């Protein structure tokens, strides 16, 4: 199993550009989520999904869109990048119906710099 994969590992954007951060998992997890990590602020939830076709907003959704057409993939779209979106982005997945003890599996992260 590859686990949770993310591409790209590093990206530089100019203000106003758009891009998609890719996330895929091969563990048949229902739950997938996107976090951003900023110094002194921990991980904050952007969007999450509990299955194909079902997504919802997290704590900091503004400026980001998501969709989930398959169980495996959960891309995160930045429609018009802003310097405030400079961050490290983590995708995570887990089973949903197995109880609270089920940990999330994290991807390696994408480091995004918006100039």
| Smallest distance, other proteins to C-beta of residue 16, A | 27
| Smallest distance, other proteins to C-beta of residue 82, A | 23
Task: By CB under 8 A, tell whether 64 contacts other proteins.
Answer: no
Q: Are strands 31-38 and 19-25 parallel, antiparallel or unpaired?
A: unpaired
| Smallest distance, other proteins to C-beta of residue 80, A | 27
Q: Which of 29, 32, 10 is nearest to 19 (CA)?
A: 10
Residue 85 has phi, psi (to 5 degrees) of -95, 5
Dihedral (Cα; 78, 107, 105, 38), 10-degree rounding: -60
Task: By CB under 8 A, tell whether 101 contacts other proteins.
Answer: yes
Alpha-carbon distance of 103 to 84, in angstroms, equals 29
Inter-residue contact 115 to 13 (CB < 8 Å):
yes
| Smallest distance, other proteins to C-beta of residue 15, A | 25
Which x/- pattern, by CB under 8 A, does the window 23-62 give for other proteins? --------x-x-x----xxxxxx--x-x-----x------
Residue ranges binding other proteins (CB under 8 A): 31, 33, 35, 40-45, 48, 50, 56, 88, 90, 92, 96, 99-101, 103-106, 108-109
């Amino acid at each position: 199993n590859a686990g949770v994969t993310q591409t790209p590992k590093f990206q530089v954007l100019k203000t106003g550009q758009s891009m998609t951060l890719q996330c895929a998992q091969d563990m048949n997890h229902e739950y997938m989520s996107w976090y951003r990590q900023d110094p002194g602020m921990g991980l904050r939830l952007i969007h999450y999904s509990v299955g194909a076709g079902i997504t919802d907003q997290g704590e900091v959704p503004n400026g980001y869109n998501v969709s989930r057409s398959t169980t495996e993939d959960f891309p995160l779209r930045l429609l018009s990048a802003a310097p405030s979106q400079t961050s490290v982005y983590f995708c995570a997945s887990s089973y949903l119906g197995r109880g609270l003890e089920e940990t999330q599996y994290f991807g390696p992260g994408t480091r995004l710099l918006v100039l």
